[in-house]
Amino acid sequence: MDHLANFIGEFAKYLIYLMILVLLFDVISDKAFNQVQNWTVETAQFTLAAFYFLAGPKTLKDDTHVRLDLIYAHLSERGRAIIDMITVWIVMFYLAVMLWGATSSLKYSWMTKQKLPSLWAPSLVPIKVLMVICIVLMILQCISIFFKDVAKAQGKVLA
């Protein structure tokens, strides 16, 4: 799972450059050629959403997410592992609720052929499929983290 999270994270970072290029194209098209594009802002929004979804597993793996460290930072590695073994289940519960909602939303979008109410009117199905996949990947990453924390709590050295 860690290798997959690294690969996906490496891919995701290039989506920011894609978003910048799309927005740059929009500005140049509008200001230099007086041609307003219907698709650029929504494409940039979808690209940013995809970046956030895809960055989730790597953020969990690298432990670079936001955490309140008032007590946690003062604990031993074993103490942090024990706390993480507990809190990762809270995160997984939250992700499971998100997965339930995302799956329900995807089902609705699929059945109704839901589109954004705009001139371009892109389908919402692809971004919702990506959301469901990424939530599943984050749950798998949490399971990986749990087993690593179990090993740390037992005093085993991880490579």
Residue 158 domain-assigned? no
Domain range enclosing 43: 2-153
Residue 62 domain-assigned? yes
pLDDT given at position 74: 86
Residue 123 domain-assigned? yes
pLDDT given at position 103: 97
Residue 125 domain-assigned? yes
Mind listing the pLDDT tens digit for each residue in 52-100? 999 999 998 888 777 777 787 888 888 888 988 999 999 999 999 999 9
Residue 93 domain-assigned? yes
Q: What is the DSSP letter of 123?
A: B
Higher pLDDT, 7 or 66: 7
Tell the burial category of 70 from Cβ atoms under 10 Å away from its Cβ (0-12, 13-18, 19+). exposed
Under the banding of pLDDT at 50, 70 and 90, the label for residue 139 is very high
- 8 Å CB contact between 36 and 29: yes
Mind listing the pLDDT tens digit for each residue in 11-57? 999 999 999 999 999 999 999 998 888 899 899 999 999 999 999 99
Mind listing the pLDDT tens digit for each residue in 101-127? 999 999 999 999 999 888 888 999 999
* Residue 159 predicted with pLDDT over 80: no
Residue 148 domain-assigned? yes
Q: How many domains does the chain have?
A: 1
Residue 159 domain-assigned? no
Residue 103 domain-assigned? yes
- Assigned token pair, 159: 């490579």
3-state secondary structure 75-99: CCHHHHHHHHHHHHHHHHHHHHHHH
